[in-house]
Amino acid sequence: MFAKTISLLGLDGKKRNQTVLERFLIFVCSGVLTFVLNAGSYKLFYFIMGWSHALSYGCSLTLMTVTFFFWNYYFNFRTNTHIQHSMWRYIGTMALMWCGNYAIVGAAHYFKIGVWWFNILGTQVLLSGIKFSLYHFWVFPHGDSKNT
């Protein structure tokens, strides 16, 4: 049982592709970690350090983006695609997601709608379906690395 868990998590050093369900479940778990990192760093920058809303949210998104690129490449999606190809696709995907994040969270902040952490969480949940589809089929695809 323990060996199977180690293998599933990829901690045995063997790179194997997961099923769509495994990818999705790990994606959901990483979504929770994303929220903690994003909201926690935003709280640090905005409320504790006193930075502006835009700078605080931009820095929290940057920290989250860099951290989760490596998480997704090496742990969650385990693609055979070369890291450089995945990185550029990831940057494009994240640019799209950042625009969505900034538009929704920025509008909520400007119009004083909701609680700051709920706006961040709601935005991440709202965009997660688009993000998972792009990750699964384009950024970190299964298949032969010669075709990517």
Q: In the chain, what are the domain boundaries?
A: 20-147
Instruction: Classify residue 38 by burial, with Cβ atoms within 10 Å: 0-12, 13-18, 19+.
Output: buried
Per-residue pLDDT of the chain (148 residues; tens, 9 = 90+): 555 555 555 555 566 667 888 888 988 898 889 889 989 999 999 999 999 998 998 999 899 889 999 998 888 888 888 899 999 999 999 999 989 988 998 899 889 888 888 888 889 889 998 999 999 899 998 765 444 4
- Assess contact for 109 and 119: CB atoms under 8 A: yes
The whole-angstrom separation of Cα 60 and Cα 42 is: 5
User: Which residue reads 């298949």 in tokens?
Assistant: 143
**What is the per-residue pLDDT for 147?**
47
**What is the per-residue pLDDT for 98?**
87
**What is the per-residue pLDDT for 148?**
46
The whole-angstrom separation of Cα 24 and Cα 88 is: 22
User: Whole-model pTM?
Assistant: 0.73
The whole-angstrom separation of Cα 60 and Cα 54 is: 10
**What is the per-residue pLDDT for 10?**
58
